[in-house]
Amino acid sequence: MRYRSQRVAYPYFVVAMLLFGLQMVFGLLAAAKYLGPDPLLNVLPFDVVKAIHTNLLLVWLLTGFMGAAYYVVPEESRVELYSVRLAYIQLAIWTAMGVTAVVGYVFRWTAGNKLLEQPFPLKVVIVIVMLMFLYNIGMTIRASGRLTTTEGVLVAGLACSALLYLPALFEFDNYTVSVFYRWWTVHLWVEGVWEMIQGALLAYLLIRLSGVDREVLEKWLYVIVGLTFISGILGTAHHYYWIGVPRYWLPIGGFFSALEPFVFFAMAMYAYYAMRRSGLTHPNRMALHWTIGSAVFSALGAGLLGLAHTWPAVNKWTHGTLITPMHGHMAFFGAYVMIVLGMISYALPGLTGRGEESRETSAGFWAFWLQVGGMFGMTMAFAAAGITQTYLERILSIGYLETQLKLQVHFLMLVATGAVFVVGVALYLWDFFFLAGRPVEAAAARAGAAPAGSTAG
């Protein structure tokens, strides 16, 4: 950490981690409800728990992205942040919005639109917060006049996220049309501009962690982002199967989403290449784990498991079954959770003014492997449940309820492996809050001399 104002990233990470912890509570609750019976049926039914689980994920990831951007941008542009005060105000409003949304859902204040459940006033707040963020970042870059490719891609990804949230503000009387535009936000976020953010953070971390030439990595970043949009924009079509849109979206969805794995394999190759060149010598081994983990896990979860049910002839049978959360859980974890945890792990020594080796805690490594193992197990449980459901309910036309009863053993696996994952998260939080230390006033000065700063170039 070279610039005092980078420290504003820390409270962002704190909020992100607290919400991550809360997300786990609701995730476990939802999994337990699959097993049933549900003693909370009339207090906290599944729909509320599920909405909170997914909304907390989106909010804490965005909090992490914004914190990461506040850490990366001053360093890349070589200037203090335009306004630290604004960043704090923004975080306060953002957190208040998130908490209000969660409490609102419990009391059934919801827009009832999958992943975009935020009631309209809160949607407006989200837009305002995004604008505050972009203004702050924009003014910082303007003040320095220096914009690297890495931060350019990161900021463009966040700016496009704000832009693509706008369709969510509109309501359509025609349900098909409203589903059509809901995907402009949801799909183009997670399989478009968020991949820009992931790619940029990956590039930033690889440059810092491997010391490979920036020019080379940034060149390939352009290629990765280019591939992302070739496959991602027209790949939106794989959400346009069977919902009342023209038939030509079927072959388009099949073809372009079949290209999506290339993006993730390119990212994995990218990380592999960088690490081979440097020989994994960076002392912050925790950050290395999460960074490489993100590249590998997103290739599996988003790339391979997405491809598993994206072809129309397959999707015809699997559409709307537990195959979707199989892909969804591993994809979100690999692509976005891991990259944010990588970014936090990387930034912590600088923020707290401790040496890189301070991150060598066994809690930190257990957190990594328990999360990886737990998520792998959950994915397997969802896969077994999803395949069985597809066969019994969709192919044999056996009733939904009888089929779900036959999936109990897989739900048991889901709860068990989910619990392993949650222990991993708890250890990460323990490490973050109690072992990593707190940011200190002198941190900037001390970290300036630390090896991370000097290899950064």
Q: Is 121 in the site for another protein (CB under 8 A)?
A: no
The residue with tokens 């920036």 is 214
Stretch that binds another protein, among 69-77, 299-307, 318-326, 352-360 (CB under 8 A): 318-326
Task: Give dist(CA 222, CA 241) in Å, integer.
Answer: 30
CB nearer to another protein: pick between 65 and 240: 240
Alpha carbon distances (Å) from 24 to 27, 63, 152, 427: 5, 17, 33, 13
- DSSP characters for 347-397? HHHHHHT--GGGG--HHHHHHHHHHHHHHHHHHHHHHHHHHHHIIIIIIS-
Give dist(CA 431, CA 365) in Å, integer.
Answer: 10
Q: Report the interhelical angle of 120-144 vs 46-77 (nearest 10°).
A: 10
Q: Judged by CB under 8 A, which of 17, 28, 32, 48 binds another protein?
A: 48
CB of 431: closest distance to another protein in angstroms? 33
Tally of helices (H runs) and strands (E runs) in the chain:
19, 0
Q: Does 251 bind another protein (CB under 8 A)?
A: no
Sign of CA dihedral 95, 98, 104, 105: negative
- How far apart are CB 24 and another protein at their closest, in Å? 18
223 binding another protein? (CB under 8 A): yes
Candidate list 86, 127, 212, 230; residue touching another protein; CB under 8 A: 230
Q: Which of 38, 366, 380, 387 binds another protein (CB under 8 A)?
A: 38
Single residue of 396, 441, 442, 454 touching another protein by CB under 8 A: 396
CA distance 392 to 396: 5
Using the contact rule CB under 8 A, the part of the chain among 4-12, 83-91, 404-412, 449-457 near another protein is 404-412
Binding of another protein at residue 229 (CB under 8 A)? yes
CA distance 182 to 55: 15
204 lines the binding site for another protein (CB under 8 A): no
**Number of residues counted as binding another protein (CB under 8 A):** 76
Residue 269 makes contact with another protein by CB under 8 A: no
Q: Decide: is 241 part of the binding site for another protein (CB under 8 A).
A: yes
317 belongs to the binding site for another protein (CB under 8 A): yes
Stretches 18-26, 35-43, 84-92, 140-148: which one binds another protein (CB under 8 A)? 35-43
**And the tokens for 296?**
């590998």
